[in-house]
Amino acid sequence: MNSQEVRSTFLDFFQSKGHLIVPSAPIVLKDDPTLMFNNSGMAQFKEYFLGNATPKSKRIADTQKCLRVSGKHNDLEEVGKDTYHHTMFEMLGNWSFGDYFKKEAIHWAWELLTEVYKIDKDILYVTVFEGSKEENVPFDQEAWDIWKSLISEDRILLGNKKDNFWEMGDQGPCGPCSEIHVDIRSAEEKAKVSGRDLVNNDHPHVVEIWNNVFMEFNRKADGSLEKLPARHVDTGMGFERLCMVLQGVQSNYDTDVFGPLIEKIVTLTGKKYVKGEALGEQEKTNIAIRVIADHVRAVAFAIADGQLPSNTGAGYVIRRILRRAIRYGFTFLDTKEAFIFELVDTLAAQMGSSFPEIRQQKDLVKNVIREEENAFLRTLDQGLQLLDDVVKQTQGKEVPGAKAFELYDTFGFPKDLTALILEENGMSYNEADFDKAMFEQKTRSRAASEVSTEDWVIVREKMEESFVGYDLLVNEAHITRYRQV
Ligand code: ATP
Ligand code: MG
Ligand code: MG
Ligand code: MG
């Protein structure tokens, strides 16, 4: 089943169960002060759970573009190193707002996975919340009983509060969740580990695919729980992970979601990508290729949704992700010229039918990425040389914060990029001193607002210089949105 079919099968299935299919919300949130990027399917429905708004339908399903690069959910460090955490990914979800509850949710999840997608039951495990006396929340007997009617007991594992209890905040709707994990280990891998607590063993080929949250409590200000009058279901399934399972591969990058991007990177750089385990230099090449294939999606979708790279806020997060990708290419794939922008055509061809914005904004996205690449590449070489000298000169493992700041200030190295490069050398830098240097510089140069205004002017000038035959209307619309950030 190709990824288009995987996606449409999910949506068709829930439509057949009475769900209204809605489009993904933008990846960048403009009106939620608590969240910079959409990081789960439920974010756009938050107000329904809080009872502040009424949904169009009590049953909704969709695929949501998510980005997990900041705040509580930050997977950036894992990306490319493992094969199943991405910065940007799609979360397939179904919701019940005060309608069906555990029984239907679990039965449908099982029906979809085993009867429609025809996943072998013997590779599935589920988790159920074990309860917590201290926190005054009970064991989820109801979910346990439902699962017991579907699978053998030794495939139902208990999970603790961290993994199996979901809370929106210190107060408000909350409840236990039940996850579905899939075991795609090879026979050799299986021979090495066995036992009940597989899921908690963090084996890279035993992966969580679907989380079903059952909101049935309200956490009150005094910390106690009361039953909610209306109970809700909120589920999220990792689309790329599901494709991995259904396409019989062991890495999200070996699916058709990433395949064309990887092929294009290989063509553009002349490097080799090796599926499965790679060692030594090839492992570094593999990681770099995965990082770039991943990061270009995050950056391209953010720009298509109106978030240009900049020096502040969400724009800076996007710039950092792109710079991280550029540097991986520069160091491990020997790319000394802009090339990431060329991947946007591949991405648009592949994702455009499900997410038309990427096709509509393709030229803008390409131009912005190319400009960013050129600007950063101009200083990257010098910056890396400086960092190399600093590493050589430093005695011990900690680089002075002022040096890391110099790289940031003069060469545009985001601090997490400096940290990453140092980490590759078994080193770190002094963060407190970095922050101090940053504070002093800000005081000197009067305020971040100037930086962001200036940033806007630069981006705009560059676009006008280099955009040939570009649709100015779209450009203006983006600039205006960008300005409001
Ligand atoms: P994990 O434990 O693997 O980090 P999670 O528990 O943080 O996942 P949830 O918040 O429960 O994930 O999100 C629902 C689903 O979204 C997960 O079951 C998983 O399939 C998928 N998912 C979560 N984070 C990522 C990511 N960074 N990249 C790709 N898919 C993800
Ligand atoms: Mg996680
Ligand atoms: Mg998890
Ligand atoms: Mg989870």
- Kindly state whether residue 285 falls inside one of the protein's structural domains: yes
Question: Averaged over 200-223, what is the pLDDT?
Answer: 87
Instruction: Please report the pLDDT score of residue 52 as a whole number.
Output: 86
Ligand 1 centroid vs 83 CA: distance in angstroms?
Answer: 12
User: Which of 246, 266, 295 is the last residue in one of the domains?
Assistant: 246
pLDDT value at residue 446: 56
The whole domain housing 200 covers: 3-246
Q: Are residues 221 and 315 in the same domain?
A: no
Does 238 score more than 90 pLDDT?
yes
Considering the domain architecture, whether residues 288 and 388 belong to the same structural domain is answered as: yes
Instruction: Tell whether 162 and 31 lie within a shared domain.
Output: yes
In this model, does residue 464 exceed pLDDT 50? no
Q: Scanning the structure block, which residue is given the tokens 């555990």?
A: 102
Q: Is the pLDDT assigned to residue 92 strictly greater than 80?
A: yes
Give the residue-averaged pLDDT of 277-290: 95
| 172 and 299 co-located in one domain | no
Write the pLDDT tens digit of every residue in 60-80: 999 999 999 987 789 999 999
Most ligand 1 atoms within 8 A of CB, residue of 91, 252, 291 to mutate? 91
Considering the domain architecture, whether residues 242 and 319 belong to the same structural domain is answered as: no
Residue 423 lies in a domain: no
Report field, pTM of the whole predicted structure over 0.90: no
| Pair (110, 198) in one structural domain | yes
Q: For residue 363, what pLDDT is reported?
A: 97
**Residue 254: inside a domain:** no
Which residues line the pocket of ligand 1, CB cutoff 6 A? Answer: 40, 68, 75, 85-86, 89, 91, 208-211, 236-238, 240-241
Q: Give the percent of the chain with pLDDT over 90.
A: 70
Neighbours of ion ligand 3 (CB under 5 A): 208
Whether 153 maps to a domain, the answer reads yes
Tell me the pLDDT band of 445, cut-offs 50, 70 and 90.
low
Q: 192-201, 207-216, 467-476: lowest mean pLDDT where? A: 467-476
Q: Is residue 259 in some structural domain?
A: no
pLDDT above 70 for 40? yes
* pLDDT tens digits, 329-369: 999 999 999 999 999 999 999 999 999 999 999 999 999 99
Q: Is residue 214 part of a domain?
A: yes
Residue 451 lies in a domain: yes
Q: What's the confidence (pLDDT) of residue 194? A: 58
pLDDT value for 26: 95
Q: Are residues 230 and 290 in the same domain?
A: no
Q: What is the pLDDT of residue 50?
A: 81
Averaged pLDDT, 421-435: 93
Q: What pLDDT does 199 receive?
A: 54
* Residue 109 in this model has a pLDDT that exceeds 70: yes
Distance CA 89, CA 59 (A): 23
Q: How far is the CA of 425 from the centre of ligand 3 (A)?
A: 30
Q: Are residues 227 and 319 in the same domain?
A: no
* Range 12-27 average pLDDT: 97
The closest-lying atom of ligand 1 relative to the alpha carbon of residue 68 is 27
pLDDT of 449 over the 70 cut: no
Judgement on whether residues 206 and 296 belong to the same structural domain of the protein: no
Query: Is residue 235 located within the same domain as residue 303?
Result: no
Residue 208 Cα to ligand 1 middle (Å): 7
- Which of 220, 246, 272 terminates a domain? The answer is 246
Closest residue by Cα to atom 11, ligand 1, is 211
- For the chain, how many structural domains are there in total? 2
Say yes or no: 47 and 195 in one domain: yes
For the ranges 171-185, 252-266, 462-476, the one whose mean pLDDT is highest: 252-266
Select from 187, 221, 246 the last residue of a domain. Answer: 246
437-456 mean pLDDT: 58
Find out whether 154 and 124 touch, Cβ atoms under 8 Å.
Answer: no
CA of 459 to the centre of ligand 3 (A): 39
What is this model's ipTM? 0.99
Tell me if 341 is assigned to some domain. Answer: yes
Say how far apart CA 427 and CA 387 lie, in whole Å.
12
Mean pLDDT of the chain: 88
Span 363-391, pLDDT tens digits:
999 999 999 999 999 999 999 999 999 99
Task: Provide the pLDDT for residue 401.
Answer: 93
Whether 226 and 289 share a structural domain:
no
pLDDT of 458 higher than 70: no
CATH of the domain at 171: 3.30.930.10
Tell me which of 36-40, 224-228, 452-456 is least confident: 452-456
pLDDT > 70 fraction of the chain, expressed in percent and rounded? 89
